Structure 1
Amino acid sequence: MNKQHPQQQWREAVIAHAEAVNQYVAQGRAHGWDDLAQPPAPATGHLLEAWQAALLAINRPGVDEPQRQLFREAWPPAHQPLVPLLDAQAQWVGPLLLLEDGSLLARVGLPQDKGQVLRIDAHSVTPVIGISHFGRCPQRRYYALANAEGVRVTDGWGGPLVARLAWPHGLEGLPPGYPFEPLDLPPAPITLTPFPCGQRVLLVSDDGIFVLAASGATRLLPRQQAILDDLLRGVDPDDIALGLAMAHAALAPDGRLIALGEQYGRHLVLDDQLQPVAAIGPASECPHFALFNRRGDQLLLNACHRYQGASLGVRVADLPGLDTEPGSDHPRTPLLHQGARIHSGVARHGEYIVGDAHGYLRAFGEDGGEHWQHYLGSTISALDISADGRTLVAASHAGFISLIALDSGRPQWQIGTGAHAEVRRWVCWKGFDAPLAW
């Protein structure tokens, strides 16, 4: 029988597992993976009750920051030991924003669920009343704040109102004269992104991708011509699927280009007048994610097959008139990154940081060169980065939010190849009254 205190057992097991995984990765990268056995998960199941009791205790009122730091040292954060609890307690977190004062804005719950928007800082978790979804423009100035009545755009978080926009009714962009029905409820936003002008918002939802404006909503996907083609082929209107799978879109930093797509078809690029610029065949099976680099002169386009993926890197200058088929080996659509099915991403100077389906943050250059990887666990559902590029915040399907100080050194319990230190983690689980700081 192990007579060590539970926290000592936990600390030793977590650190030993991290060191074993890091060594495994280093050997695989240096010499190949053929004869390597992946390290087994740590035997920590008997410690979960003690861990949860300690987590609840450290989140009681009156606990100061030095005590929290001692708790993190005694019970270092890890994903693998908590896997037995995830089926019952984990929940989706996203989107996620770092505000200018260092606090976080997070939505807990799937996009289609009621969910809850929270503002989180080092000392408190506060529900944000009257907002069901939110988003921010690429220039970090304008915020979109949504509820059942519509979408408000403010100049800054908590700033003055600059636009009030209605939800789509669902008949926008559909061929007239056919018996399509309007939406029963407003679309549930996957993302809401104001344009840099503050007068329009890009809405991505399973019910379609739209641009919201004072004059009304414009449907971008599914496209009217594709729907009309189906109708002219004799497809019954009731059999035409207007919903989207893997819907995604990204705005260029200056708002002049929109990259968008869904599971079926190609990557599309539109200009700010919503006119076609390019149609690009995916590098894998299903278009899944798009992201512009920090300068706005390169576009990352990810497509997936199951839990793997591949990303093209296209220069914005090469986009006009570009028209390629899936799997095309076109010189203007080079393969930039292989392996990751990307669910979220941010860009800093010369670097993309993306979150994949296997729980890793992966960073690579605009030339495709690998920079580092950092393990959080479970699918990475949301990312944001500070304006200075020094602080990253990541969320996962497991219900974790991780605040990471980039380029600050790697603690011995961290799985990864980068010199980055998590400074705080929140556990946003079912059964807890509020997220708990770890």
Structure 2
Amino acid sequence: MVRVKPGAHNREAGRRSNMDALCERVCNKEPDPLMDQQQWQQQWQQAITAYAQAVNDYVAQGRAQGWDDLEEPLPQATEHLLDAWLQALQAANRPGIEASEQQAFREAWPPAHHPLLPLIKEHGQGIGNVLLLEDGSLLARIGMPHDKGQVVRIDNLGVTPVIGVDHFGRCPARRYFALANAEGIRVTDGWGGPQVLRLAWPTGLEGLPPGYPFEPFDLPPTPTTLIPFPDGQRVLLVSAEGIFLLTRHGATRLLPHQARVLDELDEGTDPDDISLVLSMEHGAVSVDGRLIVVGEQGSRHLVLDDQLRPVAAIGPASEYPHFALFNRAGDQLIVNACHFYSGATQAVRVADLPGLDTDYYSQDPRTPLVQDGARVYAGVARDGEYIVGDAYGYLRAFGEDGMEHWQHYLGSTISALDISADGRTLVAASHAGFVSVIALDSGRPAWQIGTGAHGEVRRWLFWKGWDRALAW
């Protein structure tokens, strides 16, 4: 028997899953015309709650007794309920509906991921970025960075397009925002606040050896991440076309390094054959703006000071550097590297960074492993805790000491996260097209898969082919 670890029930990518087999069994099942809406609801409630309880029991037993001789639970058939669920969802989103009616729908049809897999395959899409604003509303970029996408604002009145903004980011101190479109990047003091800086896009020639026939960008680079600094005077631009520091005086290329390009030229590589494109590009800025972390799949995690002088080079604990994040206090950094859908996360104290120079898979005690298994696409920090989203649809929380705290299942690869200033509200987005608002430490509902006491309070479905988002 294959040993199954927590989270293994979500294996949508890269292999045939239990859900695939289940969908085949119920694919052609006709709905029973004699059943009414209440019976559909009861079937859904029973199936969702029973599966969540079975998975939670399975994980608890595996942790307490080991995973040998445990059989991973299968969800009940629910595909025949999808038409009734969709009708109820649309009714709960009709104009003028009362909040109490929306809540009644949510209680009657508790949120879940596995029943929607047949629809997600057709309609799901990644959500590239989310932010919680101080008034409780949300910003979201529907579509991943290289998708055409659309930025929207979500509040109690609904979903509203944000005109003139293609990409956005916020400084680690939560004050300044970077708002980007084809014309450049504006930095504002607060969301909707006054503009304090206007920045031009890089030309693409910055940091390249002079005298060689490199071509400038035809179009502005597409931001993977935009991070204004806490002083509002600089922006870290992370993109597949390069990682740049932007100021009013111009752009400075941080990756790929000029030294790497020169080495290839010295080896006789034709400039036209030198790739300047990055994969798994990532970056982070410390809370005080004094440290910058950058990396990509072919580099170590590189730490620079605010004058762009090298501070540290951290060898990853897996194959490909993938993610970086400072803790809430600003005195610790975590870095993640991945291999396929798994990964490993190390921590390092900021006090240990100066002069740190480790190789791949180093056993240096200054860079201990604090989480093993998650390929991290997004992460946030609150006091004493990191919360990361992995490739299997789990939110995983662990302490700065590496102690596991909890896990919470949303489904599909987690693509974006943000947390409120008080650490009580988390917003998570996924490649299923979900945007989920979670009240942390509020208690776990019976239908939730996970080990933490956290309850989702609202979910939006931004699905391809739909004319509008629907709230669940």
> Is TM more than 0.5 here?
yes
2:365 aligns with one of 309, 331, 340: 331
- 1:141-185 Cα shifts (integer Å, max 9, x gaps): 000000100000000000000000000111111111111111111
Paired residue type of 2:403? G
Count of residue pairs brought into register by the alignment: 438
Instruction: Answer yes or no: is 1:395 the counterpart of 2:410.
Output: no
Q: CA RMSD in A?
A: 1.0
1:318 match:
352
- Deviation of 1:260 (Å): 1.2
Task: Structure 2: give runs of 5+ residues left out of the alignment.
Answer: 1-31
Please tell me whether the aligned partners of residues 311 and 354 of structure 2 are also in contact (alpha carbons under 8 angstroms).
yes
2 CA distance for matches of 1:130 and 1:229? 41
2:376 match:
342
2:241 aligns with one of 207, 215, 232: 207
- Which is worse superposed, 154-163 or 81-90? 81-90
Please tell me whether the aligned partners of residues 343 and 376 of structure 2 are also in contact (alpha carbons under 8 angstroms).
yes
1 CA distance for matches of 2:258 and 2:81? 56
Instruction: Answer yes or no: is 1:373 the counterpart of 2:403.
Output: no
1:130 match:
164
Please tell me whether the aligned partners of residues 42 and 80 of structure 1 are also in contact (alpha carbons under 8 angstroms).
no
- 1:45-73 Cα shifts (integer Å, max 9, x gaps): 11111111111111110111100110000
Instruction: Answer yes or no: is 1:242 the counterpart of 2:287.
Output: no
2:294 match:
260
- 1:180-212 Cα shifts (integer Å, max 9, x gaps): 111111011111110001011011111011111
Q: Secondary structure at the match of 1:282?
A: coil
1:106 match:
140
1:282 match:
316
1:431 aligns with one of 465, 468, 472: 465
Paired residue type of 1:291? L
1 CA distance for matches of 2:468 and 2:281? 30
- Deviation of 1:26 (Å): 0.5
Q: Secondary structure at the match of 1:46?
A: helix
Paired residue type of 1:380? I
- Deviation of 1:378 (Å): 0.4
Q: Secondary structure at the match of 2:446?
A: coil
1 CA distance for matches of 2:468 and 2:389? 25
Paired residue type of 1:229? D
- Deviation of 1:112 (Å): 1.2
Please tell me whether the aligned partners of residues 257 and 269 of structure 1 are also in contact (alpha carbons under 8 angstroms).
yes
2:154 match:
120
- Deviation of 1:106 (Å): 0.3
2 CA distance for matches of 1:150 and 1:263? 27
1:177 match:
211
TM-score, length of structure 2 as denominator length: 0.92
- Deviation of 1:42 (Å): 2.6
Please tell me whether the aligned partners of residues 391 and 414 of structure 2 are also in contact (alpha carbons under 8 angstroms).
yes
1:61 match:
95
- Deviation of 1:336 (Å): 1.3
2 CA distance for matches of 1:352 and 1:72? 29
Please tell me whether the aligned partners of residues 173 and 287 of structure 2 are also in contact (alpha carbons under 8 angstroms).
yes
1 CA distance for matches of 2:469 and 2:136? 17
1 CA distance for matches of 2:305 and 2:233? 16
Instruction: Answer yes or no: is 1:383 the counterpart of 2:417.
Output: yes
Paired residue type of 1:359? G
1 CA distance for matches of 2:356 and 2:270? 33
- Which is worse superposed, 370-379 or 45-54? 45-54
- Which is worse superposed, 357-366 or 2-11? 2-11
1:300 match:
334
Instruction: Answer yes or no: is 1:30 the counterpart of 2:60.
Output: no
2:304 match:
270
Aligned ranges 1:75-90 → 2 under 5 Å: 75-90=109-124
Q: Secondary structure at the match of 2:377?
A: strand
Q: Secondary structure at the match of 2:191?
A: coil
- Deviation of 1:428 (Å): 0.5
Instruction: Answer yes or no: is 1:10 the counterpart of 2:44.
Output: yes
Q: Secondary structure at the match of 2:209?
A: coil
Paired residue type of 2:457? V
Aligned ranges 1:43-58 → 2 under 5 Å: 43-58=77-92
Q: Secondary structure at the match of 1:317?
A: helix
Aligned structure 1 segments of 4 or more residues deviating by more than 2 angstroms? 1-4
1 CA distance for matches of 2:243 and 2:227? 11
2:107 match:
73
1 CA distance for matches of 2:378 and 2:444? 23
Please tell me whether the aligned partners of residues 103 and 119 of structure 1 are also in contact (alpha carbons under 8 angstroms).
yes
Please tell me whether the aligned partners of residues 47 and 75 of structure 2 are also in contact (alpha carbons under 8 angstroms).
no
1:414 match:
448
2 CA distance for matches of 1:43 and 1:185? 48
2 CA distance for matches of 1:388 and 1:272? 28
1:352 aligns with one of 375, 378, 386: 386
Q: Secondary structure at the match of 1:342?
A: coil
Q: Secondary structure at the match of 2:451?
A: coil
Aligned ranges 1:147-158 → 2 under 5 Å: 147-158=181-192
Please tell me whether the aligned partners of residues 108 and 117 of structure 1 are also in contact (alpha carbons under 8 angstroms).
yes
- 1:64-103 Cα shifts (integer Å, max 9, x gaps): 1100110000000000000111121001112100000000
- 1:367-405 Cα shifts (integer Å, max 9, x gaps): 000000000000000000000000000000110000000
- Deviation of 1:274 (Å): 1.0
User: Matched residues, percent identical?
Assistant: 72
- Deviation of 1:331 (Å): 1.6
- Which is worse superposed, 119-128 or 281-290? 119-128
- Deviation of 1:431 (Å): 1.7
Please tell me whether the aligned partners of residues 172 and 218 of structure 1 are also in contact (alpha carbons under 8 angstroms).
yes
2 CA distance for matches of 1:334 and 1:23? 31
2 CA distance for matches of 1:293 and 1:299? 6
- 1:2-49 Cα shifts (integer Å, max 9, x gaps): 947212111111011100110011011111112111111331011111
2 CA distance for matches of 1:163 and 1:265? 31
1:41 match:
75
- Deviation of 1:265 (Å): 1.9
- 1:218-262 Cα shifts (integer Å, max 9, x gaps): 111101111111111111111111000000001111111011110
